[in-house]
Amino acid sequence: EAGVAQSPRYKIIEKRQSVAFWCNPISGHATLYWYQQILGQGPKLLIQFQNNGVVDDSQLPKDRFSAERLKGVDSTLKIQPAKLEDSAVYLCASSLAQGLEQYFGPGTRLTVT
Protein backbone atom coordinates (compact mmCIF):
# COMPACT_ATOMS: atom_id res chain seq x y z
CA GLU A 1 0.00 0.00 0.00
CA ALA A 2 1.46 3.35 -1.03
CA GLY A 3 1.85 5.91 1.72
CA VAL A 4 0.99 9.59 1.83
CA ALA A 5 2.85 11.44 -0.90
CA GLN A 6 3.93 15.06 -0.69
CA SER A 7 5.75 17.38 -3.03
CA PRO A 8 8.00 19.18 -3.18
CA ARG A 9 10.26 17.90 -0.39
CA TYR A 10 12.08 21.22 -0.11
CA LYS A 11 11.25 24.77 -1.14
CA ILE A 12 13.11 28.02 -0.67
CA ILE A 13 11.35 31.30 -1.43
CA GLU A 14 11.71 34.95 -0.59
CA LYS A 15 9.27 36.70 1.70
CA ARG A 16 6.16 38.03 0.01
CA GLN A 17 6.34 35.31 -2.65
CA SER A 18 3.71 32.62 -2.94
CA VAL A 19 4.14 28.86 -2.64
CA ALA A 20 1.98 25.77 -2.95
CA PHE A 21 2.33 22.29 -1.53
CA TRP A 22 0.65 19.16 -2.79
CA CYS A 23 -0.52 16.08 -0.93
CA ASN A 24 -1.85 12.76 -2.19
CA PRO A 25 -3.35 10.73 0.67
CA ILE A 26 -3.54 6.97 0.96
CA SER A 27 -6.16 5.61 -1.39
CA GLY A 28 -9.58 5.46 0.22
CA HIS A 29 -8.72 7.74 3.13
CA ALA A 30 -11.56 10.18 3.67
CA THR A 31 -9.87 12.46 6.19
CA LEU A 32 -6.88 14.63 5.33
CA TYR A 33 -4.86 16.87 7.63
CA TRP A 34 -2.29 19.61 7.09
CA TYR A 35 0.11 20.31 9.97
CA GLN A 36 2.75 23.00 10.41
CA GLN A 37 5.86 21.96 12.34
CA ILE A 38 8.15 24.83 13.28
CA LEU A 39 11.70 23.89 14.22
CA GLY A 40 11.86 22.70 17.81
CA GLN A 41 8.12 22.24 18.17
CA GLY A 42 5.55 19.57 17.63
CA PRO A 43 3.19 19.64 14.66
CA LYS A 44 0.23 22.00 14.84
CA LEU A 45 -2.96 21.27 12.90
CA LEU A 46 -3.72 23.88 10.26
CA ILE A 47 -6.72 22.35 8.55
CA GLN A 48 -8.65 19.10 8.47
CA PHE A 49 -10.81 17.87 5.60
CA GLN A 50 -13.46 15.19 5.65
CA ASN A 51 -13.78 14.23 1.97
CA ASN A 52 -13.83 17.68 0.35
CA GLY A 53 -15.39 19.52 3.26
CA VAL A 54 -13.51 21.45 5.96
CA VAL A 55 -13.90 20.04 9.48
CA ASP A 56 -11.48 22.29 11.37
CA ASP A 57 -9.51 25.30 10.15
CA SER A 58 -9.45 27.21 13.42
CA GLN A 59 -5.65 27.54 13.42
CA LEU A 60 -5.23 28.39 9.74
CA PRO A 61 -4.05 31.99 9.17
CA LYS A 62 -6.72 32.67 6.61
CA ASP A 63 -5.33 36.03 5.54
CA ARG A 64 -2.42 34.26 3.85
CA PHE A 65 -3.03 30.51 3.91
CA SER A 66 -5.58 28.63 1.85
CA ALA A 67 -6.21 24.96 1.22
CA GLU A 68 -8.48 22.92 -0.94
CA ARG A 69 -9.28 19.31 -1.51
CA LEU A 70 -11.02 18.98 -4.81
CA LYS A 71 -12.90 15.74 -5.45
CA GLY A 72 -12.04 14.58 -1.96
CA VAL A 73 -8.65 13.13 -2.89
CA ASP A 74 -5.55 15.31 -3.47
CA SER A 75 -5.07 18.51 -1.57
CA THR A 76 -3.05 21.68 -2.01
CA LEU A 77 -1.96 24.15 0.66
CA LYS A 78 -1.02 27.64 -0.50
CA ILE A 79 0.71 30.52 1.23
CA GLN A 80 0.41 33.99 -0.28
CA PRO A 81 2.30 36.14 0.60
CA ALA A 82 4.86 34.21 2.65
CA LYS A 83 6.44 35.62 5.80
CA LEU A 84 9.70 34.70 7.48
CA GLU A 85 7.80 32.99 10.31
CA ASP A 86 6.22 30.57 7.83
CA SER A 87 9.52 28.71 7.63
CA ALA A 88 8.61 25.23 8.80
CA VAL A 89 7.95 21.67 7.75
CA TYR A 90 4.45 21.17 6.38
CA LEU A 91 3.14 17.69 7.04
CA CYS A 92 0.19 16.06 5.40
CA ALA A 93 -1.58 13.12 7.02
CA SER A 94 -4.59 11.01 6.16
CA SER A 95 -6.86 8.55 7.91
CA LEU A 96 -9.61 6.20 6.81
CA ALA A 97 -12.09 8.25 8.78
CA GLN A 98 -12.12 10.89 11.47
CA GLY A 99 -10.77 9.51 14.72
CA LEU A 100 -8.83 6.64 13.20
CA GLU A 101 -5.04 6.31 12.96
CA GLN A 102 -3.34 9.08 11.02
CA TYR A 103 -0.62 8.22 8.52
CA PHE A 104 1.89 10.95 7.81
CA GLY A 105 3.73 11.92 4.67
CA PRO A 106 7.43 12.89 4.56
CA GLY A 107 6.67 16.60 4.72
CA THR A 108 7.79 19.67 2.80
CA ARG A 109 10.48 21.83 4.34
CA LEU A 110 9.83 25.48 3.53
CA THR A 111 12.49 28.13 4.03
CA VAL A 112 11.45 31.76 3.65
CA THR A 113 14.35 34.21 3.26
Footprint on this chain of another protein (rule: CB under 8 A) = 3, 33, 40-45, 48, 55-56, 89, 91, 93, 98-99, 101-102, 104-107, 109
Whether 67 contacts 92, CB under 8 Å: no
List all residues 6 or more positions away from 29 whose beta carbon is below 8 Å from its beta carbon: 94, 95, 96, 103
**Residue placing its CB nearer to another protein in the complex, 66 or 102:** 102
8 prior amide bond cis, ω within 30: yes
**Residue placing its CB nearer to another protein in the complex, 18 or 51:** 51
Q: CB of residue 81 vs another protein: minimum separation in angstroms?
A: 25
Q: CB of residue 16 vs another protein: minimum separation in angstroms?
A: 27
- Give the integer Cα–Cα distance in Å for 83 and 62: 14
Q: CB of residue 106 vs another protein: minimum separation in angstroms?
A: 5
Q: CB of residue 11 vs another protein: minimum separation in angstroms?
A: 14
Measured between alpha carbons, how far is residue 89 from residues 11, 30, 53 in Å? Answer: 10, 23, 24
**Residue placing its CB nearer to another protein in the complex, 14 or 85:** 85
Whether 44 contacts 60, CB under 8 Å: no
**Residue placing its CB nearer to another protein in the complex, 12 or 55:** 55
